[in-house]
Amino acid sequence: MTFETILLDKQEGVAFITLNRPEALNALNAALLSEVGEALLSLDKDDDVGAIVITGSEKAFAAGADIKEMAEQSFAEVLKEDKFAAINAVFAAIHKPVIAAVSGYALGGGCELAMACDFIIAAESAKFGQPEIKLGVIPGMGGSQRLTRIIGKSKAMDMILTGRMMDAAEAERAGLVSRIVPTEDLIEHVTEIARGIAHLSLPSVILAKEATNRALETTLTEGLIFERRVFHSLFATNDQKEGMNAFIEKRQPQFKNS
């Protein structure tokens, strides 16, 4: 696979997708969104990959959808193109964990891309925002829906109606990011976290992700039943026997993803 707007790297079970349009602070144009989608789908099928990291540059994870690409489009054109539908569909189809490693700006579509990932690790320099209102539009890649579910209505309304930015500390307090790390150590920390996940049993990782996502989509009663059935089903795997026996025998488990 050759890409023009992203870089792809794989090391010890972890794949890194690096957004690479430095001249536009990694603004998400159609080519970049399509390449991210293509890379994710292919890495999800790659047996050498157990976890995926999406990152940008130190200055910008991504400064939003590409304003220059959209500025002159008509209502009929954007409606027909519906360009953010495909990437949301890709994220919904990915089984493996996807971690956003955010340094610098994650604005508009950049914040939405980070939120489409399973969790966000932020550098101290990270800044999140949904500034679309200042452009005369609203978030279009999930911001009004995912941000509200993650940080609650009051703070999401504040962000979306004012277009202001949130720094990493506020984002952590609000539950938007799971951890903050020193900016210069972002990739090292995220690599360690992703590698830890990649060494676990893939069937349990896939089902843990699915069960956790189910919490956002269903009632508590249905979600609890779903979780228990998934828990029960994992007793059909060799890795459950290996994981529990390794604990009892005081050794590290050797998972075989079976």
Residue of the chain from 139, 181, 186, 203 that contacts ligand CAA (CB under 6 A) = 139
What are the residues facing 62 on neighbouring strands?
106
Of the two residues 111 and 197, which places its CB atom closer to ligand CAA in the complex? Answer: 111
Give the residue, chosen from 1, 2, 45, 68, that forms a contact with ligand CAA under the rule CB under 6 A.
Answer: 68
Residue closer to ligand CAA by CB (options 71, 236) is 71
Q: Using an 8 Å Cβ cutoff, are 106 and 61 in contact? A: yes
Minimum distance from CB of 50 to ligand CAA (Å)?
29
Interface pick for ligand CAA out of 52, 54, 65, 202 (rule CB under 6 A): 65
Select 141 or 180, whichever has its Cβ closest to ligand CAA: 141
Tell how strand 6-11 and strand 179-181 pair up. unpaired
140 catalytically annotated: no
- 33 sits near ligand CAA (criterion: CB under 6 A): no
Q: Is 143 in the site for ligand CAA (CB under 6 A)?
A: yes
Interaction of residue 32 with ligand CAA, rule CB under 6 A? no
Please tell me which residue in 112, 116, 126, 143 is annotated as part of the active site: 112
210 counts as catalytic: no
Taking CB under 6 A as the rule, does residue 25 contact ligand CAA?
Answer: yes
Contact 36, 29 (CB under 8 A): no
| Cα separations in angstroms, 205 against 50, 106, 132, 155, 197 | 9, 27, 35, 31, 8
| Residue 13 known to be catalytic | no
Is 65 known to be catalytic? yes
Binding range to ligand CAA, per CB under 6 A, among 19-27, 34-42, 188-196, 202-210: 19-27
User: What sign has the CA pseudo-torsion 125, 170, 114, 137?
Assistant: negative
| Interface with ligand CAA, residue 67, by CB under 6 A | yes
Binding status of residue 87 toward ligand CAA by CB under 6 A: no
- Residue closer to ligand CAA, measured from CB, 65 or 176: 65
If binding is defined by CB under 6 A, does position 132 make contact with ligand CAA?
A: yes
Residues making contact with ligand CAA (CB under 6 A): 24-25, 27, 63-68, 84, 105, 107-109, 112, 131-132, 135, 139-141, 143
Enzyme catalytic residues: 65, 109, 112, 132
